[in-house]
Chain A
Amino acid sequence: MQYPEPIAKLIESYMKLPGIGGKTATRLAFFTIDMDEDDVTDFAKSLISAKRDLHYCSICGNITEEDPCQICSDPSRDQTKVIVVEEPKDVMSLEKMKEYHGLYHVLHGVLSPIEGKGPEDINITSLLTRLQTHPDMQEVIIATNATPEGEATSMYLSRLIKPAGIKVTRLAHGLAVGSDIEYADEMTLFKAIEGRTEI
């Protein structure tokens, strides 16, 4: 016996999500049938609204409801600094810190030829135009992940940006705050010693 069409379609839709295969999708689909109709309507609405009402900010590339985003349109933020991150969720993490009041730029990925991502496939061109059109920009802080790809991306950006006379910095590597040295692995310790500071 085959599944009735509405269920089959629902299963197929769930399977498009990352990390969900046939079995999980079937389980979710049958669960959805048993849910309250209000809940299902809300769920459907949030799916559509997430897609329709969210855009990428035309300046920084972050996700936003209105364009330009809140951060880009806030004149009280420090217009001389910009942090470059891989993904929108990195902006959220940095904002939680509440200590940084400059701007952001989201690359939507890192340079990784294996995944088919070259310099023209991530949000680099718009960063360069942004720097050209804002002469008061003084520092670009690169906050890509500490992976070989994140490292390559940061080196690439610094080569493009530095000739324009703008300061390029990179986040520090080392021990996590509140962690024990005992539990740190050898490479983290090595990086921490390399990047030690005078007190």
Chain B
Amino acid sequence: MYLESLTLRDYRNYEDLNVSFSPAINILLGENAQGKTNLLEAIYVLSMTRSHRTNNDKELIKWDKTAAIIQGRVNKQLGTVPLEIQVNSKGKKAKVNHLEQAKLSQYIGQFNVILFAPEDLALVKGAPAVRRRFVDMEFGQINARYLYNLGQYRTILKQRNQYLKQLQHKKNQDLVFLDVLSDQLAAFGAEIVHQRLIFLKQLEFWANQLQEEITQSAETLTFEYATHLEDAADQTIEQLYAQLQNDLKKATKKEIFQGTTLAGPHRDDVRFLINGKNVQTYGSQGQQRTTALSVKLAEIELMKEETGEYPVLLLDDVLSELDDMRQTHLLKTIQNKVQTFLTTPNLSGIARTLINEPKIFHINQGNLLEEEEHTVD
């Protein structure tokens, strides 16, 4: 799928913008603070209905205006779909083919994007919570059932933690109810672990292929799902459920004492291993960067496998952070199949010869100017 055109009205620093894109590579060129990332963000919002930079939707509206509108035409295998997001002080509306969608969850999935920003390097270096959020966001985008399980799991977890805290002060403890909450938690928890393992296996396949290409087969990338459940990968959902139930039962005393749930997928982690060694602890800066890149690019293939179409790739200021070798592999992966938007302050750090016929836009204070002729310098 690709974005044919985009219209912005009163969005951040764009007052009225109407632009058509290339189905291949689009380069957004401009000085700092001209609106390069704002444009990428608008495309992201059109896909996910919310920004990756802020939780406050009102920030998306142009200063001193009351409503922002993002419209886009998305070309898919089955035809073109007009999408629209409206943000005003009361909330937001999402329209598919001019029809308003009652739930945002019905809208998400119409148009898939993958964003790669400098922060994404934290995927390898950062805390386990960063990796869990990555896994949950990506898998949630391609599988509605995973998203549902996750929502239910979070609600039950909150209830159970609260009940554990209440049990600390109670004389006659009703452990039957705690048991019920444990069973509910274990049921959704087991499904989540099972689904994560399946998705991670698929993602690993693609990520490793990329890693081997980039490093010329010197490095093998594998994923390890770190969980307290034993042999999780070889177990059925029923077995995982029984294990989790058992772990929760064993921890009951400690859980009441600490007032929090001590077992379950909300405490799991994903480890990235290069040639069997954990990249987070033993990898060099370069290896960590390559790994983050491989994992992100692997998502492109995974999404194609699950949804039948390639997503749109948004690269925020990352190309210049990669050396020539990595740039070449990135471009080789996306060339001729994935529509890409990349922002950069200048073209000097970019291996431009590798890019076939890019469409270049100069951004200046919320205005876009398309470059007519592009010569390779």
Contact with A along B52-88 (1 / 0, CB 8 A): 0000000000000000000000000000000000000
A43 at the interface (CB under 8 A from B): no
Which residues of chain A from 177 to 192 have any CB-CB distance to chain B below 8 Å in the complex? 185-187, 190
Q: How many residues of B contact A (CB 8 A)?
A: 24
- Cβ of B54 to closest chain A Cβ, rounded Å: 27
Of A111, A149, A151, A152, the most chain B CB neighbours within 10 A belong to A152
Q: Cβ of A118 and Cβ of B177 under 8 Å apart? A: yes
Measured CA separation A138–B160 after assembly (Å): 32
B183 at the interface (CB under 8 A from A): yes
Among A114, A119, A187, the residue within 8 A (CB) of B177 is A119
Interface residue SS majority, chain B: helix
Q: Cβ of B163 and Cβ of A113 under 8 Å apart? A: yes
A35 at the interface (CB under 8 A from B): no
Q: How many residues of A contact B (CB 8 A)?
A: 19
Q: Cβ of A114 and Cβ of B184 under 8 Å apart? A: no
Measured CA separation A120–B166 after assembly (Å): 13
Chain A residues, Cβ within 8 Å of B148: 186-187, 190
Among A114, A156, A186, the residue within 8 A (CB) of B180 is A156
B144 at the interface (CB under 8 A from A): yes
Q: Cβ of B180 and Cβ of A185 under 8 Å apart? A: no
Which residues of chain A from 73 to 115 have any CB-CB distance to chain B below 8 Å in the complex? 111-114
Measured CA separation A149–B155 after assembly (Å): 9
Measured CA separation A138–B257 after assembly (Å): 41
B250 at the interface (CB under 8 A from A): no
A155 at the interface (CB under 8 A from B): yes
Measured CA separation A135–B183 after assembly (Å): 30
User: Closest 4 CB pairs between A and B?
Assistant: A113-B163, A113-B162, A186-B144, A155-B180
> A120-B174, A152-B159, A159-B176 provided; 14 other pairs, C-beta below 8 A?
A114-B158, A118-B166, A119-B174, A119-B176, A148-B152, A149-B159, A152-B156, A155-B183, A156-B180, A159-B180, A160-B176, A185-B106, A186-B145, A186-B148
Contact sample, A vs B, 15 pairs, CB 8 Å cutoff: A112-B159, A113-B162, A114-B158, A114-B159, A114-B162, A148-B152, A148-B184, A152-B184, A156-B176, A156-B180, A185-B103, A185-B106, A185-B144, A186-B148, A187-B144
| Contacts from B to A (Cβ < 8 Å) | 103, 105-106, 144-145, 148, 152, 155-156, 158-160, 162-163, 165-166, 174, 176-177, 179-181, 183-184
